């Protein structure tokens, strides 16, 4: 009886594992390969958490100029296929300003990207970089976003 119970339990677990790992009938190998997707449709990125930087003495004119450069730099990174997601946070007490999700193989590669940002160079912003594992399909959102934005900031 004990052997039968273990056999039934093992068969159930194996079935459950097989179901959890079943093939996706919608899978598009060409698209997955073009996006660098792994078997789960995921890939590695680096997330940049933008925070208020140490330089809080810039004049309003300097700040405006640096943030125009910040937006222009985001456009350069996006056109190069490196900036996948970007956006500001709402007001908060933590000094968090926004995020970037960067198509970068390493934190060091991502650091080189964010160090091109004038607002980061000037210390108005600081970027904490963290490896992140997410959907390989994220880059597809940018072309779709361009179809729904009435006004562009980049």
Its domain, for residue 87, covers 29-148
Domain count, the chain: 1
Is residue 4 a part of any domain in this protein?
no
DSSP assignment of 12-55 = HHHHHHHHHTPPPTT--HHHHHHHT--TTSEEEEEEEEEEE-S-
Q: What is the pLDDT of residue 137?
A: 95
Q: In this structure, what DSSP letter does residue 151 have?
A: S
Higher-pLDDT residue of 47 and 20 is: 47
Predicted pLDDT of residue 11 = 52
- Binning pLDDT at 50, 70 and 90, where does residue 12 land? low
User: 129: Cβ–Cβ under 8 A, 6 or more apart, which residues?
Assistant: 46, 47, 48, 49, 107, 110, 111, 114
Let me know if residue 111 belongs to a domain: yes
Instruction: Give residues with Cβ within 8 angstroms of 146, minimum separation 6.
Output: 152
Domain assignment present for residue 90? The answer is: yes
The verdict on residue 139 lying in a domain is yes
Q: What is the pLDDT of residues 90-147, one digit of tens each?
A: 999 999 999 999 999 999 999 999 999 999 999 999 999 999 999 999 999 888 888 8
Report if residue 136 sits inside a domain. Answer: yes
On whether residue 48 sits in a domain, the answer given is yes
Question: Could you tell me the CATH number of the domain that includes residue 104?
Answer: 3.30.70.1060
Q: Of 72, 67, 83, 154, which is closest to residue 119 (Cα–Cα)?
A: 67
Cα-to-chain-centroid distance, residue 50: 13
């Amino acid at each position: 009886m004990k052997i039968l119970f273990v056999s039934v339990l093992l068969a159930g677990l194996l079935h459950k594992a097989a179901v959890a790992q079943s093939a996706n009938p919608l899978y598009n190998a060409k698209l997955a390969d073009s996006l660098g997707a792994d078997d789960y449709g995921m890939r590695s990125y680096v997330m940049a958490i933008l925070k208020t930087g140490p330089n809080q003495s810039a004049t309003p004119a300097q700040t405006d100029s640096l943030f125009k450069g910040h937006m222009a730099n985001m456009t350069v990174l996006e056109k190069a296929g490196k900036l996948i997601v970007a956006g500001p946070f709402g007001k908060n007490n933590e000094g968090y300003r926004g995020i970037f999700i960067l198509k970068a193989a390493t934190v060091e590669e991502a650091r080189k990207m964010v160090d091109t940002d004038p607002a980061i160079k000037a210390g108005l912003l600081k970027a904490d970089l963290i490896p992140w594992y997410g959907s390989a399909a994220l880059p597809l959102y940018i072309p779709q976003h361009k179809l729904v934005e009435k006004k562009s900031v980049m």
